[in-house]
Amino acid sequence: MIYKLFTDEETDSILARLNKNFVDGKNSQKLSNVYNIKENKETLISKEVDEYIGNIFKNKKVIKKIYAPTKIKNRIYNNYNTNDFYDYHVDSFQSSDSKMLYNYGFTISLSDDYEGGDFVLQTEVGEIAYNIGKGEIVIFPIIYPHKVTPIISGRRQNIIGWFESNITYEQSFVLKNLEEIATINLELLQSNTEQILFKELLIKTALVQNYLVTKWGF
């Protein structure tokens, strides 16, 4: 699921505050000792940037309504140059200090001046590829294998992280569709102010959505 999380100005502000002391991305992937699974550079983000992203993330209306995150961990700033890639892999379900059990992962794009570098999920219905725009975030169930296709040209920059939620993937699917229905209803209402039915549908959709996210999320 893909959303616009930051404006271009907010994204540029984040980029300006990131640590640029990159190390070889192979260092964080044990399978690199077995085969060439990834080529990129990465570094940890600062506590300041971590908290800044976390606050916006937790307060983003659409994310709260669908996922109700409880704990968030933004950890790594990735840099991909031409020919860099990251083959299929699955992220760890647990934080290094064992204090968090992740059920969702996310990647935030900080740039869009590159070709290639699609973010690809391997799902029950096949591969789903995302060409993520600047400031956009893709949220996905952590059980899904995923990869970054080779960069053809340019520089791909992103932040990856994980979060805990009491909302299951199946429940998030229901809540996402309710949110889309509510959005459509609102657009119809704004263009057809005399249509009382649109108002009733919007109210009922919001009631169901709020009930489910409260019951499932907490």
Dihedral sign for Cα atoms in the order 128, 174, 161, 135 = positive
Domain residue ranges of the chain, discontinuous segments joined by +: 2-165, 170-217
Q: Which long-range contacts (CB under 8 A, 24 or more apart) does 90-98 make?
A: 90/142, 90/143, 90/144, 90/145, 90/146, 91/142, 91/162, 93/142, 95/162
pLDDT at 97: 63
Q: Under CATH, domain 2-165 is a member of which superfamily?
A: q2cbj1_9rhob like domain (2.60.120.620)
112-145 pLDDT, tens digit each: 999 999 999 999 889 999 999 999 999 999 999 9
Tokens of 54: 């976390």
Residue 202 has pLDDT above 60, yes or no: yes
Judged by DSSP in three states, 11 sits in helix
With beta carbons less than 8 A apart as the criterion, state whether 152 and 116 touch: yes
Higher per-residue confidence, 184 vs 147: 147
154-185 pLDDT, tens digit each: 999 999 999 999 888 888 888 888 888 877 77
